[in-house]
């Protein structure tokens, strides 16, 4: 299952969702968005797909707050060009920018506790 691949990916991974099936896209995107260590979560789509996914997240997952972490459509909206090669180039630049600028969270350091020596008799 693709969701398992998402769960097993290393911290700082970029997830680009572009399957043939909206329902599968939604499951994969939700799993990726549940992670707090992803460098990028993007899904190919339109304004309509974006709105549908937001409603689905709220209704099916109960986590509409996750939606803020999603890039949809991938490749940005500044350039109004529908040519696949242009969208691919813009998406690649967007993903690389996110991956290169991502900083892994620092591991929490546990303060060491002084060991108590047993009392001498």
Q: Are 90 and 79 spatial neighbours (Cβ–Cβ below 8 Å)?
A: yes
Q: Are 41 and 71 spatial neighbours (Cβ–Cβ below 8 Å)?
A: yes
Residue 11 CA to residue 4 CA, distance in Å, equals 14
CA of residue 4 relative to chain centroid, distance: 14
Classify 2-101 by CATH class: alpha beta
Mean pLDDT of 18-25: 93
- What is the residue extent of each domain of the chain? 2-101
- Round to the nearest angstrom and report the end-to-end CA distance of the chain: 63
Identify the pLDDT of residue 115: 57
Identify the pLDDT of residue 81: 87
- pTM for this entry: 0.80
pLDDT beyond 80 at 97: yes
pLDDT range class, residue 2, cuts 50, 70, 90: confident
């Amino acid at each position: 299952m693709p969701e398992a691949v998402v769960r097993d990916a290393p911290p700082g991974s970029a997830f680009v969702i572009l399957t043939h099936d909206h329902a599968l896209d939604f499951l994969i995107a939700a799993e990726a968005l549940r992670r707090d260590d992803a460098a990028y979560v993007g899904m190919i789509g339109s304004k309509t797909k974006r709105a549908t996914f937001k409603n689905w997240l709220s209704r099916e997952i109960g986590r509409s707050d996750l939606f803020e972490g999603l890039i949809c459509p991938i490749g940005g909206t500044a350039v109004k060009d529908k040519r696949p090669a242009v969208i691919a180039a813009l998406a690649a630049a967007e993903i690389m920018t996110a991956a290169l600028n991502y900083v892994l969270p620092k591991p929490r350091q546990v303060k060491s506790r002084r060991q108590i020596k047993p009392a001498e008799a």
